[in-house]
Structure 1
């Protein structure tokens, strides 16, 4: 996966209008030939034989494609160059994960992971917990005191679940006291104990995304007042 800073496209000398209204898409999903991935830009037009550079603002993905959503259209490109840098990825129980350097609240972290990867990371066993700890020890950035995981508590019933929909069969809470579980969002300490903690959902923290797409493609639909469901 790469953090894409910009994409430069050179148009043909002839039939230059064939590039008009094409979209530059960047993401990790191979579904529909990558045409379901988020958009960096819409190419309104490029003059004949000219080059335009589109700022993608550090969008992250393993696929970059140009897509013309017109059954009657013909897409033509002379040259395309992609500029970016490799994103550090780690393996946890054979799954690719990424420690994101942005500091976001829990819901924005969830949306970020779902926009650019798959989901906030879930942990299902002690072995997986230890591998996540190793990832945080080796992370290249100075992590916030806590890091968001895909843990969410249902307020009506009081039970915790992973945003993949899996139940929390294995847990590593600092304490099981109900008084320590007052916030519905969960993260993990980075101070060496690596216990899980309930945290105010509005805290701006680093977070860990699962980058691989699971075979069942299951995850919990999440709604926000500022975003549509994902």
Structure 2
């Protein structure tokens, strides 16, 4: 059979080849977690498409009605998919023309958040067919579906891509509205949701008006995806919960932006949620309203950490000497222009040796204004009540304790300080 370039509708491309290695690159993704299909003929179960053998195949029954047959694999995490390779035997009923290759999240029937990697407009039997996703698609599930009444036969499927950035929550701090304790005295504490064990769950107490679970990532992250797994037992369907992400702990984190509403949740599988808009923050909160308890068996969060420009200096100096110290080292006293800057500075401040820390905010008597020494106007602020005074020889400090409000202090006081790298 001659090699030929296959034309792919919409957003994909494919090349038939004797090699299972996709030309688009990416790492071969291990596909040994779970696989499913619309129906099964005899022992042609879905795992036969990922068993490493091209002589054994997964096969569905033909449909009596004009509905799609499908095969789906669950990956071990969320991946950015670059290419899908498919091999089927050289026999009549392995024709795949018309099958869309989908990369999506959620259950198979939930296509609201799915994206098509490619449509198969032609398929060469008896050799590898490589399908490249030209649009960036990412997810935990890869699905091949075949419209019409024909059976779907897949002898081997290989998937290539890069794992999305999974945030390490080993040292993060978790908390929740209450701790359920079983009859043996075992507390179902918040940390069970990040212990790597999907059978051990965090669990709040029933009959409360509101339930929440929160994690402090101890850093500011651009969050791309939030994944949750619950085993199937009493009260583990948490459809209706909300995910909040931001830098505030007020109202247990529910003042932060809503990343996603869980309009659909399925037990015994990973449920992946993407934020409607790009959000960043230190805290992730799951909020569940009503008397039913909030149960979370395992939580995984994906995103990129924002690098902090700040450096805590544990030396006691006056404001002017602190400014000189920073500038002699090609830095400046800290400038805080938004919530993320404030949070990153707070993470430095909590390790200080003094109750307050100098920042680069100074009051000038000549102009009678507060200004940042890095030449920025004062817009964002976190002043404590009554502290924004107009006295000469004063500069701003951040308090070390929780809240990290700003205070006005004499330039001649000696505190630790925060330098900023540029």
What's the TM-score once normalised by structure 2's chain length?
A: 0.26
Q: Which has the higher strand share?
A: 2
* Higher relative contact order (CA closer than 8 Å, sequence separation 6+): 1
Considering fraction of residues, name the structure with more helix. 1
Larger radius of gyration: 2
